Amino acid sequence: MDKVTAGRDILGDFAPKFAELNDDVLFGQVWSRESQLSTRDRSIVTVTALLAGGVLDSSLRGHIARARSNGVTAEEMAEVLTHAAFYAGWPKAWAAFRMAKEVYDA
């Protein structure tokens, strides 16, 4: 996985501690624990959690793209979103499907 610098790039001057935790702990330490859970599976969990939490912005789009990069196929993403729709809510799933379709069609 490529080193994530989004925290520092976007918030480094404004919220340096948050940027550090985002880049070094979440993406540096947690996502790197591939012997416990693969990046592919972490992507599925993350997309599902963002969908369920109603985070339907660029964060979700970015994690759908990361899921694609981590080996989640379009068919698998469609299945993940369909399954999650029953728990997270139909309108949220519609929003996620629009994003996923754009990401996988690109």
The number of CA neighbours under 13 Å toward the Cβ of 100 is 24
State the pTM of this model. Answer: 0.90
The dihedral built from the CA positions of residue 65, 73, 82 and 88, taken in this order, carries a sign that is negative
CATH code: domain 37-105 is 1.20.1290.10
For CATH 1.20.1290.10, the residue range(s) in the chain are 37-105
User: In a structure prediction context, what are the per-residue pLDDT tens digits for the chain, which is 106 residues long?
Assistant: 678 898 999 999 999 999 999 999 999 999 999 999 999 999 999 999 999 999 999 999 999 999 999 999 999 999 999 999 999 999 999 999 999 999 999 9
Contact 1, 32 (CB under 8 A): yes
